[in-house]
Structure 1
Amino acid sequence: MNRLGDATSPYLLQHANNPVDWWQWSSAAFDEAKRRDVPVLISVGYAACHWCHVMAHESFEDAGVARLMNDNFVSIKVDREERPDVDAVYMTATQAMTGQGGWPMTVFAAPDGTPFFCGTYFPKANFTRLLQSVTTAWAEQRDGVLRQGAAVVEAIGGAQALGGVSAPLTAELLDAAAAQLATDYDGENGGFGGAPKFPPQMNLLFLLRQYQRTGNPQALEIVRHTCEAMARGGIYDQLAGGFARYSVDARWIVPHFEKMLYDNGLLLRVYTHLWRLTGDPLARRIADETAQFIVRDLGTPEGGFASALDADTDGVEGLTYSWTPAQLVDALGQEDGAYAAGVFEVTAAGTFEKGASVLRLARDIDDANPPVVDRWSDVRDRLLTKRNERPQPARDDKVVASWNGLAITGLVEHYFATGGAESLDAAVRAATLLADLHVVDGRLRRVSRDGVVGDPAGVLDDYGAVAEAFCAVHQATLDGRWLDLAGTLLDAALAHFPTGSGGYYDTADDAERLVTRPADPTDNATPSGLSALAAALTSYTALRGEPRYREAAEAALGTVGPIVGQHPRFSGYAAATGEALLSGPYEIVIATQTDPTGDPLVSTAYELAPPGAVVLVGAPDAPGVPLLADRPLLDGAPTAYVCRGFVCDRPTTAVADLTAQLTRR
């Protein structure tokens, strides 16, 4: 066993028995490289990564390759999900040197961490030659190698230079961003761009909020069509719920099978809000099943949510999930097997590998009559039971703070829209784990596993996503603890991450020094740190009533205004937060002394809440809840208080008045 045996990361533990003398990321590893006068080999990946597994089996488990690595390098294994700061720095270098990036990422660096050669996956023969070539170059051409490294660092430092043009997120800019998304839209298949096609969850959230503000029917149709196409495609698990990370084709047919917590947390929000706005039964079913998947399949014994389910099962991608017609008949019998093949589009030719198919939904079930739905549900349940007898993909059970924050917010919003108590209970349990374990002396730690918090410090997206989640839990529980904790995290972020020009670095001013200090304001698979922070600041300022947090959110969003205007596909969360600020955001309070269940004021508030609105329902002057202070009942009846942008409407007990206040544009 190498030095990975005591790691908290399941990805690192997968390599603990490699013959490679792996080190964890540490100053000691770089000190060892300096002592030996050898370069550093940095290998970055994550537990659910298919090609990471391939490279591990081909090269890192091979004694000959390991001997070359051990003799000539100090080799460091990094979990990108545990150390996104390290990943960001070297991914920028990889993209600068090769024009592309991805995982596994392979970086050769000087003993001070300066990268001089970068790549991604290398087959064993190529990797062996590369190890030999770098060893020779380090011994015979070191000056040139170091000059190249210095040039790379200078280039990536320039790529992450901060400051420059600022553009407030005005209505005109956000309308232009929505128009640009419509231009990029795949009108045939839904989504944006071609293969591989990723769920555009943050853009969909923005377009839903755009529709709420403007009534733009095109924005709503893009969301509706894309959500239906994904929900009926192979990217959605038709038996157990939950979305895979992306589709390898443009039509959502064959997924890359890993299921990530962050995707499902964000898509839960999208389908929940789509149902809330349209009443679409498909959207409601997918929202419910996604919430159930997160809680059932990703929940940890400690109350948090695991990071991912692996793409592979026993080294084979899709082994758990694909079916042939014969396998359907074997599981269900001849008649129901043929029925399932028709409903789930399983053919003899197959859509995946070796004549197998990934299940898709061929026809509308949600609007069908009860006997059709009952048969489909029965067949689906029996297939899932049979599938559960197969080998199952591994689970990366580390708890990532920011991803748990995204899931918590999604679950709370699902609870608000549907009344599902299970979603709220799970959200509160996860929030409690983050508060009790990940918040240490007022600062965040990024990961934990088995109830033990890891050493990596939280980065900006952790602070933003967790603070936003705490704001959501505060609204649902009326517990002042959550609002206080959100304020603690936001104050820490404002103190330790700013650039001085309105923007934010991804790492704190007292974090470990890397060769550059990362600061990427663009949204990718998850909201950028800046977008996540701006969203949390927007919710918090509405709940607390302190304008300085709104001012910080506006300044942060101003720094990405040009990106929103020119590249909206990479700024969806920022644009969605911009819509919230444009709308107020609304502060909706229903003051009541009675059980709010069934209260028409409460249901109207949840149904019609404008973009980014905060909603609180409870007794006047409840302790720890600033928005309930000085909000008495009128004539003893439940009373609605609506404010936006620190300006309030007249309190009302009438549903018609509340409806008018929430729907004016």
Structure 2
Amino acid sequence: MPHNLLFLMTYYETSRDKRVLQMVETTLIQMYKGGLFDHVGYGFSRYSTDKYFLVPHFEKMLYDNALLMMSYVQAFGLTNKTIYRDIAKKTAQYIMREMTSPEGGFYCAQDADSEGVEGKYYVFDYDEIIKILGEERGKSFNSYYGITPKGNFEGRNIPNLLGNTNLEDRFQQDIPQLYEYRKSRTRLHLDDKILTSWNALMIAAFTMMYQVFDEEQYLVAAQKAEGFITEKMQDNNTLFVSYRDGIHSSKGFLDDYAFYIFALLELYGATLDCHYLNKAVNICQKTVEDFYDMENGGFYLYGEENQKLIITPKETYDGAIPSGNSVMAYNLVKISQITGDSGFQEKAKRQLEFMSYSAKDYPAGFSFFLMALWMHMNPLENITCVLADKDDLKKLRGKVKLNTTVRILEGETDEYSLINGKTTFYVCKNHSCLPPTNNLLEVLEQ
């Protein structure tokens, strides 16, 4: 569950406990080296069936790949190790190539089975590789990826790097040939439903990749998918669960709203386009109105627009994906930090209290909530930008590090004024602020 790793990295950012980062890196590297990662077509399968990450359940899910992309991006941001950047980019390549609709939405999943056999699409014989790549190159490839005549999975082979300490991508020129061969050999079934909640996670992942790697293609993918949700899966501020063949399904549940707000906040953080922030605030207000338990705290799974049931549950535990309540805790903290709105500050405080009560007996099962709580207790830098010229905003986009809170003011206020008549930056942390400055580079260094 990648949100465990995301919490540990959030914790490490302020604690600088090296043991925590070592835990994260060990897991991230082992997952990549094993068969859990598809070394020919890229992307991650759903989970491993053994402790080495060799044999996966071969189904690939959109949400897993989104959360793992976030994890590898954040690991690169903390360590500057190119291996994490490369893994994130390979996974993104898989999503854009195989899991993206022509209109920009992201599909749900690819099945584990081909022709009724689990994993048949992914495995190779030793001699099969040699036949494709030739004797010398094929033997070298087999040695590097742990492919043997005996096999490592039901007499055949799952390519993996578990026997290697040197991860150099030595055979990248051969991968496209094997990928095309594998596609011609058999086919996978694609679940082409487009889910709002899972799409939102992938939008957030691509947005983070843009912010850290500064590559426009990732922002384009994120914005196109967000536009798809706006056009096909949304009516004013009402969201729908899924879309397929031109038809959207029932009205959305808490996860749809929570994850979409999360994605919008990430888009705002990367682009500083207040359109995304305003939209996130509006949908957050609707989520509070429709799903929030005013009396006892917390958010119901079903809202005012959903079918009425005898029992209205509140899901708080983080499973394969974070719970809607955990993500709403994060959203409320983030919005309150960006806007300084006292109403959102109070809502964030109440949600944190509610979730703390739920998490106290087993906090490890509430890692995404712990991210929100840690962010509330240890806020990162807060930059307030007072614009003298709206075009100055372009100079700031893509320059601010991940998770930094940026507030954009389009003119002076009683609290924030322009210095020298130029765009002015106020940098604050832990309730103390540095002197205002017109120098963006100085702000980023501080």
Give the TM-score of the pair, scaled to structure 2.
Answer: 0.90
The answer as to 2:410 corresponding to 1:621 is: yes
Cα deviation for residue 595 of structure 1 reads 7.9
Cα deviation for residue 377 of structure 1 reads 0.9
Distance 1:633 1:432, change over 3 A: farther
Cα deviation for residue 415 of structure 1 reads 0.4
Structure-to-structure mapping, 1:15-30, within 5 angstroms: none
Structure-to-structure mapping, 1:632-647, within 5 angstroms: 632=418, 636=422, 640-644=425-429
Cα deviation for residue 502 of structure 1 reads 1.9
The answer as to 2:333 corresponding to 1:538 is: yes
The answer as to 2:263 corresponding to 1:472 is: no
1:344 to 126, 133, 145: 145
Conserved 8 A contact 1:439-1:445: yes
Which amino acid in structure 2 is aligned with residue 344 of structure 1? Y
Conserved 8 A contact 2:380-2:429: yes
Q: Deviations over 1:193-245 (max 9, x none)?
A: xxxxxxx2011000001001111111111111100000111101112221111
Conserved 8 A contact 1:497-1:507: yes
Conserved 8 A contact 1:306-1:396: yes
Distance 1:511 1:333, change over 3 A: same
Structure-1 residue corresponding to 2:309: 514
Structure-2 residue corresponding to 1:390: 185
Q: Deviations over 1:489-511 (max 9, x none)?
A: 11111111122222111111342
2:376 to 573, 581, 589: 581
The answer as to 2:72 corresponding to 1:271 is: yes
2:90 to 289, 295, 298: 289
Which amino acid in structure 2 is aligned with residue 493 of structure 1? T
Counterpart-to-counterpart distance in 2, 1:268 and 1:631: 39
Counterpart-to-counterpart distance in 2, 1:249 and 1:260: 19
Structure-2 residue corresponding to 1:379: 174
Which amino acid in structure 1 is aligned with residue 427 of structure 2? V
Structure-2 residue corresponding to 1:217: 18
Which amino acid in structure 1 is aligned with residue 159 of structure 2? L
Counterpart-to-counterpart distance in 2, 1:634 and 1:501: 50
Which amino acid in structure 2 is aligned with residue 482 of structure 1? Y
Q: Deviations over 1:275-300 (max 9, x none)?
A: 01101111110111122222222111
Structure-to-structure mapping, 1:95-494, within 5 angstroms: 200-353=1-154, 355-361=155-161, 362-364=163-165, 366=167, 368=168, 373=169, 375-454=170-249, 456-494=250-288
Counterpart-to-counterpart distance in 2, 1:634 and 1:330: 71
Counterpart-to-counterpart distance in 2, 1:264 and 1:358: 19
Count the aligned residue pairs. Answer: 440
Q: Deviations over 1:533-568 (max 9, x none)?
A: 122222222333313223222322222224544423
1:495 to 267, 284, 289: 289
Distance 1:635 1:215, change over 3 A: farther
Cα deviation for residue 588 of structure 1 reads 2.9
Counterpart-to-counterpart distance in 1, 2:392 and 2:133: 47
Cα deviation for residue 644 of structure 1 reads 4.8
Could you tell which deviates more after superposition, 271-280 or 532-541? 532-541
Q: Deviations over 1:59-115 (max 9, x none)?
A: xxxxxxxxxxxxxxxxxxxxxxxxxxxxxxxxxxxxxxxxxxxxxxxxxxxxxxxxx
Structure 1 vs Structure 2 CA RMSD: 2.7
Counterpart-to-counterpart distance in 2, 1:221 and 1:507: 39
Conserved 8 A contact 1:545-1:646: no
Q: Deviations over 1:16-53 (max 9, x none)?
A: xxxxxxxxxxxxxxxxxxxxxxxxxxxxxxxxxxxxxx
Structure-2 residue corresponding to 1:650: 435
Sequence identity, in percent?
A: 30
Q: Which runs of 5+ in 2 are unaligned?
A: none
Which amino acid in structure 2 is aligned with residue 613 of structure 1? T
Conserved 8 A contact 1:588-1:605: no
Distance 1:305 1:604, change over 3 A: closer
Counterpart-to-counterpart distance in 1, 2:324 and 2:358: 15
Counterpart-to-counterpart distance in 2, 1:452 and 1:303: 16
Distance 1:459 1:385, change over 3 A: same
Distance 1:545 1:227, change over 3 A: same
Question: Structure 1 stretches (4+) deviating beyond 4 angstroms?
Answer: 589-597, 601-604, 629-636, 644-648, 654-658
Conserved 8 A contact 1:352-1:358: yes
Which amino acid in structure 1 is aligned with residue 282 of structure 2? T
Find the residue that maps to 2:345 and give its secondary structure.
Answer: helix
Q: Deviations over 1:459-479 (max 9, x none)?
A: 111111001111222233343
Cα deviation for residue 577 of structure 1 reads 1.4
Counterpart-to-counterpart distance in 2, 1:471 and 1:603: 14
Conserved 8 A contact 2:111-2:188: yes
Find the residue that maps to 2:131 and give its secondary structure.
Answer: helix
Conserved 8 A contact 2:214-2:398: no
Distance 1:646 1:489, change over 3 A: farther
Cα deviation for residue 480 of structure 1 reads 3.2
Counterpart-to-counterpart distance in 2, 1:326 and 1:537: 56
Distance 1:446 1:644, change over 3 A: farther
Which amino acid in structure 2 is aligned with residue 514 of structure 1? L
Distance 1:247 1:434, change over 3 A: same
Conserved 8 A contact 2:271-2:398: no
Counterpart-to-counterpart distance in 1, 2:16 and 2:100: 38
Q: Deviations over 1:307-331 (max 9, x none)?
A: 1111111221111111121111122
Conserved 8 A contact 2:298-2:354: yes
Counterpart-to-counterpart distance in 2, 1:635 and 1:485: 30
Distance 1:585 1:458, change over 3 A: farther
Cα deviation for residue 522 of structure 1 reads 0.4
Cα deviation for residue 358 of structure 1 reads 1.1
Conserved 8 A contact 1:234-1:255: yes
Find the residue that maps to 1:588 and give its secondary structure.
Answer: strand
Find the residue that maps to 1:238 and give its secondary structure.
Answer: coil
Structure-2 residue corresponding to 1:65: none
Give the TM-score of the pair, scaled to structure 1.
Answer: 0.62
Structure exhibiting the larger radius of gyration computed from Cα positions: 1
Which amino acid in structure 2 is aligned with residue 614 of structure 1? T
Conserved 8 A contact 1:542-1:586: no
Find the residue that maps to 2:325 and give its secondary structure.
Answer: helix
Counterpart-to-counterpart distance in 1, 2:421 and 2:273: 27
Cα deviation for residue 256 of structure 1 reads 0.5
Cα deviation for residue 391 of structure 1 reads 1.7
Q: Deviations over 1:392-440 (max 9, x none)?
A: 2111111111111111111111100001111100100111111222222
Counterpart-to-counterpart distance in 1, 2:433 and 2:186: 58
